[in-house]
Amino acid sequence: MTHQPDPTSADTTNLASLRASVQRVIEKIRPGIQLDGGDVELVEVTLAGAVHIRFLGECIGCPSAPMTLRHGIERTLRLEVPQVTCVEAVS
């Protein structure tokens, strides 16, 4: 009898690795956002590659936040972590 790996365990390992990769990229992006009085927090990463972030500080309600999200955060994450499929801001 062969031992089958637990898919839940593999999913958990993959998700933890993906989350760690996303967090590393966010840590690289964060200083630029903090220069303008804002911040960004990683909320969730799904196995499908969806990343949910929360804007903090001056980013809340900032008219440039959507541009920062798409052209800064999402673009950088998708370049550096190919498993990322989308990035969404949550409240």
pTM: 0.84
What CATH topology corresponds to 7-89? GMP Synthetase; Chain A, domain 3 (3.30.300)
pLDDT tier at 13 (50, 70, 90 boundaries)?
Answer: confident
What is the per-residue pLDDT across 53-85, written as a single tens digit (0 to 9) for each?
999 999 999 999 999 999 999 999 999 999 999
Q: Decide if pLDDT at 7 tops 70.
A: no
What is the per-residue pLDDT across 22-60, written as a single tens digit (0 to 9) for each?
999 999 999 999 999 999 999 999 999 999 999 999 999
d(CA 77, CA 72): 8
* Domain regions of the chain by residue span: 7-89
Q: Decide if pLDDT at 2 tops 70.
A: no
d(CA 71, CA 65): 10
